[in-house]
Amino acid sequence: MKNVVYLLIAVFLASCGGSGTNSIYGKTITEYLLKGKSNDLDLKVVEMTEQGKVTVADSIAYLTDEFRKDRQLIVKRVELAKKMTEELLSKTKRQNEIDRYNADIVVMNNRIDSLKNLVPDNLQGYDSRNANDALAIIVRCKYSVQLAGKPIEETFDFYLSPDGSKCYGKKGI
């Protein structure tokens, strides 16, 4: 019986804490949406759920993936330029052009090798961070707003600071 009482108290405290968090999220999202707009908009939060967190590990993975995509695009462009230079080399008979094309091909090979060995350099801020640290909280919010007398409902994912006090942006779902 004692355990049941403790369980009920724990559930009560968790539900109270959750609504407090939702009210912080709701306030932050409302301020974000109304920023720079007239105060006579009737905005109401209909539904709000926490979707997850963006961690240091998530951010590193995203930045590394974007870096690899950008690097691969540049490598493909240099490889294309090298292929075009090789085609020009195969068609020329003049020694000065042959020498110039060969020199260009050597430079392009060096660039390709250099690019393939290049590592991301935009991760310095994460050196001392724990991979599980939350950088942002994703909150899905459905809200309604009165426009020209008609209620319009929209749903977005909002990216909030870990404490819920700042909104970094929103993304349509």
Q: Provide the pLDDT for residue 124.
A: 84
**What percent of the chain is predicted at pLDDT more than 70?**
86
CA distance 160 to 164: 5
What's the CATH code of the domain at 44?
Answer: 3.10.450
51 & 63 share domain: no
Span 45-56, pLDDT tens digits: 999 999 999 999
Residues 42 and 65 in one domain: no
Instruction: Give the total number of structural domains in the chain.
Output: 2
Residues 64 and 122 grouped into a single domain: yes
Other CB atoms within a 10 A radius of the CB of residue 137 amount to 20
Per the CB < 8 A criterion, the answer to whether 74 and 115 are in contact is yes
Q: Which domain holds residue 43?
A: 2-55+133-172
Same domain assignment for residues 62 and 46 = no
Rounded Cα gap, residues 109 and 121, in angstroms: 22
Question: Among 135, 137, 139, which residue's Cα sits nearest to residue 50?
Answer: 139
84 and 68 together in one domain: yes
Calculate mean pLDDT across residues 35-39. Answer: 73
